[in-house]
Structure 1
Amino acid sequence: MSDSLSPRDSRVAFDHAAEDWLAWQQTPWARVYYALVRRILSTLPDTPGRSRDVLDVLDVGGANGVDSLPFLEAGHRVTIIDSSSVLLSEAVAAAERGGLDRDRLRVEYRDLDDRPLPPPTGSAGWDLVLCHNVLHYRDDPAELVGRLVAATRPGGTLSLIAPNPAMDVLAAAVRDGNPGQGLALLDAPTRRSVTVGAMMHRLERADVEAGVRAAGAAVTGRFGLRTVIDLVSDDDLKRDPEWLRRTTELELALCARVPYRDIARFWQLICRRRD
């Protein structure tokens, strides 16, 4: 099978896998992931040079808005763009279930190949841009990074997340008990997503950082998401509420610490566009 990651194939894969994706979000390991992302985003420094408190937030490939709807709940304006109409409908439904201000939420069914990314109304750029778990599905992630930086206002913040290739190897060998698979993954350029079924590139954080700098932004924070739970093979243990609570506390303590952040399931970069 070809390793091509064509935009159409990714769109179809996500629409077909929408139900599986929503089910994944309810798993203990997904709950740890989202707890870490929420904590990291909640501690971002105030965006400088603003005379108002309401931020314009763009969630690129934001699916059902789990990462960005908390900003809507906090009173900010949120735009979610995605190529899955199914998942965008779920974002609207989630906002309505939560009684959130629909006037501050915009969703756009949009191909990520469309250029440029949409600007906020009456502004030179977005205060905060999220692009989580998207770059590895792109054949040219540096190109999208360039557009993400360009869409961020000077002094604004960009958050990037992608799977960490290091954990592919460790999880295969330790959690799955398959050292041969770990060895095969060591230098593999791609792998197939278990949940979505689409091929994805194995992106090293350092390579994406280079693209961020080339596009005119600085990396201000490096984090690792899920260092411990992805090495545990006992799924029943992961569903124990007390074990999960204590593990989440540990994950929160490890996410910014070297060397733990460097082997976690996902890497996250917080970037600031240069003034």
Structure 2
Amino acid sequence: MHVEHYKDNIHAPWGQIFYTILFAHLMGIKDKRVLDFGSGFGLTADFLSANNDVLAIEPNVDMVAGRFGKDNYRQLTGSLELLSQFPNDYFDVIICHNVLEYVSSDSRAIYLRELGRVLKRGGQLSLVKHNAAGKAMQKAIFENESIQALRLISGDISYESTALGHGQIYDLEALLPDTGLTISDYRGIRTFYGLQDNKFKRESDWIRRMTKLELAVARQSPYRDIAYFHHYTLVK
């Protein structure tokens, strides 16, 4: 895993805007007990810690060492095994962003069931996942990789991430039985901004203008259907 490359992308305009949009989606979370599962460098945990009691769990020791907001939330290093120390119905809100792509396909349902177990009844799970249609658009337009786009369209859902290694797009609805979770809403992230040439993204006002556009279509089909990421709200 190229952790420093991943961190560089977070600081780039295309990384900054992802979190600007995501935080706009999450800004209503206040006075809650929050679990950020797969917290990475802790940007989301740090953001939510301003108004919530946040616990972050991350398996990568290098990301934990380089995290943001170290004094603002509690951090544990590990993964699924750590959830056993928490009782049923413990957290008000759970964050799980771009995590399940990188666990084995036969264990995804186990992860989701355990997250559902520790989520309070009436609580919400915020889940961000890759979207095959959006990835195909990115490959064909921005990266000019038509063969890879065709592979995605034909159902080849595996990919390699420079920062995070081997990933696989998955069907969220297929994982939901026996979790106690249902989908209440989903929004698109990166509908337009990933398709633009990077030269535009360094303009001083680009993040503000593009964020306004992205938020305007986040819940609108067909725009959200072709976004690179889908941001689901699951309820228990």
Q: TM-score, normalised by structure 1?
A: 0.79
**1:193 maps to amino acid:** S
Q: 1:67: how far off?
A: 1.1
Q: Of residues 111, 114, 129 in structure 2, which corresponds to 1:144?
A: 111
Match of 2:135 in 1: 168
Q: Of residues 36, 53, 65 in structure 2, which corresponds to 1:89?
A: 65
Q: 1:262 to 1:118 in 2, by over 3 A?
A: farther
**Residues 105-116 of structure 1 correspond to what in structure 2 (within 5 A)?**
105-110=73-78, 112-114=79-81, 116=83
Indicate conservation of the 8 Å contact 1:128/1:152, yes or no.
Answer: yes
Indicate conservation of the 8 Å contact 2:188/2:228, yes or no.
Answer: yes
**Residues 12-51 of structure 1 correspond to what in structure 2 (within 5 A)?**
13=1, 17-43=2-28
The question of 1:254 aligning with 2:202 is answered: no
Report the Cα distance in structure 2 between the residues aligned to 1:159 and 1:169, rounded to whole angstroms: 24
Gaps of 5+ in 2: none
Q: 1:64 to 1:115 in 2, by over 3 A?
A: closer
Q: 1:115 to 1:70 in 2, by over 3 A?
A: closer
Report the Cα distance in structure 1 between the residues aligned to 2:46 and 2:83, rounded to whole angstroms: 23
Match of 1:229 in 2: 193
Match of 2:93 in 1: 128
SS at match of 1:227: coil
The structure that has the greater radius of gyration is: 1
SS at match of 2:133: helix
Q: 1:164: how far off?
A: 1.0
**1:162 maps to amino acid:** K
Residue range with higher mean Cα deviation, 238-247 or 248-257: 238-247
Indicate conservation of the 8 Å contact 1:125/1:154, yes or no.
Answer: no
Deviations for 1:222-261, whole angstroms, at most 9, x for unmatched residues? 11111001111x2111111223321111011111111111
**2:148 maps to amino acid:** Q
SS at match of 2:44: coil
Q: 1:184: how far off?
A: 2.3
Indicate conservation of the 8 Å contact 1:117/1:148, yes or no.
Answer: no
Indicate conservation of the 8 Å contact 1:223/1:261, yes or no.
Answer: yes
Q: Count the aligned residue pairs.
A: 233
Match of 1:10 in 2: none
Q: TM-score, normalised by structure 2?
A: 0.91
Report the Cα distance in structure 2 between the residues aligned to 1:245 and 1:24, rounded to whole angstroms: 18
Q: 1:169: how far off?
A: 1.2
**Residues 153-232 of structure 1 correspond to what in structure 2 (within 5 A)?**
153-186=120-153, 187-196=155-164, 198-203=165-170, 207-232=171-196
Report the Cα distance in structure 1 between the residues aligned to 2:38 and 2:222, rounded to whole angstroms: 29
Report the Cα distance in structure 1 between the residues aligned to 2:198 and 2:84, rounded to whole angstroms: 40
Q: 1:90: how far off?
A: 2.8
Indicate conservation of the 8 Å contact 1:24/1:195, yes or no.
Answer: no
Q: Of residues 199, 204, 229 in structure 2, which corresponds to 1:241?
A: 204
Indicate conservation of the 8 Å contact 1:119/1:126, yes or no.
Answer: no
Indicate conservation of the 8 Å contact 1:213/1:219, yes or no.
Answer: no
Percent identity of equivalent pairs: 26
Report the Cα distance in structure 2 between the residues aligned to 1:117 and 1:256, rounded to whole angstroms: 35
Q: 1:64 to 1:36 in 2, by over 3 A?
A: same
Match of 1:3 in 2: none
Aligned Cα root-mean-square deviation (Å): 1.9
Match of 2:55 in 1: 79
Report the Cα distance in structure 2 between the residues aligned to 1:137 and 1:215, rounded to whole angstroms: 20
Report the Cα distance in structure 1 between the residues aligned to 2:150 and 2:21, rounded to whole angstroms: 29
Q: 1:29 to 1:118 in 2, by over 3 A?
A: farther
Q: 1:168: how far off?
A: 1.8
Match of 2:231 in 1: 268
Q: 1:115: how far off?
A: 6.0
